[in-house]
Structure formats: C-alpha cells, structure tokens
Structure 1
Amino acid sequence: MDAFAPVQINGHLYLSHPAAERWNLGQDIRSTIKVWSEVPWDVLDLDADEDPRLLFGLDELSFGTRNGLWPIASTDRGETIFLLGAPDVPRLLVSYDETWAEHRISFAEWLYCYLIGEDMSGPNSAAFYPGPVELRRLPMSAGERPESWYGPDRGM
C-alpha cells in the first residue's frame, strides 16, 4: 500500500493510502466503521448464514475496537474486506451481498488468491483477469486523471 496506493487493482479492488489527503486510509476506515457500527445487528432478522457473530464465533460484533473488525479495502462490487483485530490468528472477513466469507490468512495471501481468480468473497465471487495485473493510480486532485500501469506478465 505504501508504495502503490491509492490504487484500484484490476478494475475492482480499492486500496487507500494512510498519508494521502484524498483516498485517505484513516478517513476511509473511520467512515466505514461509523456506517457499520450503526447497523442494528441485535434487531435484524438474520439467518444463521448471514449473521457474522454466529458464523465466526464472535461474542459481539464491534468495529474499530481491539478485537473488532477493521475495514482495510473495498471493491466497486460492494465487498468490504475486514481484518479481525484478535491477535491469535490472521483472519479476514469479507462482506458481500448479505453474505460473509472468512479467510484465516494474511491480507497478502488473500490478495494473491483474489488476483488469481479464487472466490474470495463467497461463492461465485471471483474477479479473474488474465494477463498482467492492472494497477490504476487514483487521482489526487480534481485536475488529475487515473493513470494505469501493468505488472509483469503472469502467464495466465
């Protein structure tokens, strides 16, 4: 993130940068935490496969707390990628279209799997594009335009 963000990857995945004024990671995290914290989880009539507390064995659902969920990336398809703050095992939780997916891997591993076309947000969620990964630098001011560049050929 430090070297390339703020960036859009393969047309869908957005990574913000902590030191950028626009596309600021800290601001994105705070605003996403606020929105998700306002969801009335206790009064929603959720099925067992829709309730992240039941799915992932969480005593409570909190956002931006020591053992809570931290939003670290998003997509233009409505997916939000959360890092679970519990220190024991790296865990990523992905919310997509009222479903949740859990991955007990690091974000780097998740990103690799996402880019090679695995279903990383739930069933049928793959967003695979053959060839080099497209990175699109996001504009930092009103006058700038997105600028694309590509990684090395992946033989895919």
Structure 2
Amino acid sequence: MTDYLAAAMAMLGPAQNRYANPAAWDRLHAELDIRMPTDYQTLVDAYAPIQLNGHLYLHHPATERWNLGQDIRDTVLAWSEVSWDDLDPDEDPRLLCGLTELSFGTRNGLWPIAGTDRGETIFLVAEHETAHWLLVEDGEGG
C-alpha cells in the first residue's frame, strides 16, 4: 500500500515545520468542532503557509497571514451562499459523497481545506470522518 504522505513529503523536500504548533490545531478543532486528518495536519505543519507549484495554497492555523481558520470561515460563508438547486447528477456533491443534504462548515458537511489560484477548492467531507474523503470542486461549479 502506498504511503501517500511520505510520497508527498519526498516530492516537496525537507520539512520546514516553521509554524508547527499543536495548541493552534487544538484551538482550530475546538472552534470548528471537527478534527482535521492527521496526515493533513502533518503536511500543513511541515510546509504551510505556502503556495505549491504556483497554484495550490496551504494555510496554517498558527499564522496570522494565510490563517487556516480564517480561510475556512471565509470560504464556508462564500460556499453557503451558492444555490445548489440545478446541478447535474454527476456534479452533485450530495450524490457523489452520499450526503443527505449539502452544507458547508457543519458537522456532516463539507470543509474547505485548500484551494488554488484557478478557483478549485478541496473539501474534507466531514460525514466520512473516519475515511477522510476529499471532494475537489473545479472552480466552475462542477
């Protein structure tokens, strides 16, 4: 079985761990009332805040600039204002992720954990907390 965390870190190079701070993660988890996956925390602690490959942004909960908690709150607010009534079945996150309803920043909803300069958003699917599902939205509603 592939160790994807080790593979990603090997590709990115030596970990910097400039802002690694367990207390910052504890505050974020308490504020959001969910826990982020351990592999995600390890990757963020090792490199964030950073823009990878000129596109992918990773924010960190211990920094004021590019703060992960603030980014999550802002993105949840923006996505909560989008109408989801007229989606094709193959683009509906409810069907793709087995969700009974579509919500953002809720205990059983979607949590934005990274994004790109091209508009893509990567969501953690909280409904599947033990399986750590990810959903990637392509920046154009699909």
Query: Please, what TM-score do these two structures have when normalized by structure 1?
Result: 0.58
SS at match of 2:89: coil
Give unmatched runs, 5+ long, in structure 1: 100-156
Q: CA deviation at 1:28?
A: 0.1
Asked if 1:17 is matched to 2:42, the reply is no
**Whose RCO is larger (CA < 8 A, sep 6+)?**
1
Q: State the one-letter code of the partner of 1:69.
A: L
- Alpha-carbon distance in structure 1 between the residues aligned to 2:110 and 2:87: 19
SS at structure 2 position matched to 1:49: helix
Which structure shows the higher helix fraction? 2
Q: Secondary structure at the match of 2:131?
A: coil
- Which residue identity lines up with residue 60 of structure 1 in the other structure? E
- Structure 2 unaligned runs (5+)? 1-43
| Superposed displacement of residue 19, structure 1 | 1.1
CA distance in 1, matches of 2:46, 2:80: 31
Is residue 72 from structure 1 mapped to residue 127 from structure 2 by the alignment? Answer: no
Q: 1:3 to 1:89 in 2, by over 3 A?
A: closer
Q: Does structure 1 retain, via aligned residues, the 8 Å contact 2:76–2:104?
A: yes
* Corresponding letter in the other structure for 2:59: S
Cα distance in structure 1, aligned partners of 2:117 and 2:133: 22
Bigger CA radius of gyration = 1
State the alpha-carbon separation in 2 of the partners of residues 34 and 10 from structure 1.
27
2:96 alignment counterpart:
55
In structure 1, the partner of 2:137 is: 95
Give me the whole-angstrom Cα distance separating, in 2, the residues matched to 1:58 and 1:9. Answer: 31
Matched, 1:30 2:73: yes
Report the structure, 1 or 2, having the larger strand content: 1
CA RMSD of aligned residues (A): 1.2
> Do the aligned residues in 1 keep the contact of 2:49 with 2:58 (CA within 8 Å)?
yes
Equivalent-residue separation in structure 2 for 1:39 and 1:60 (angstroms): 14
1:55 alignment partner, SS class: helix
SS in 2 for 1:28: helix
Q: Secondary structure at the match of 1:3?
A: helix
- Matched-pair identity in %: 70
Q: 1:72 Cα shift?
A: 0.5
What is the distance in 2 between the residues matched to 1:31 and 1:49? 27
Q: Secondary structure at the match of 1:61?
A: coil
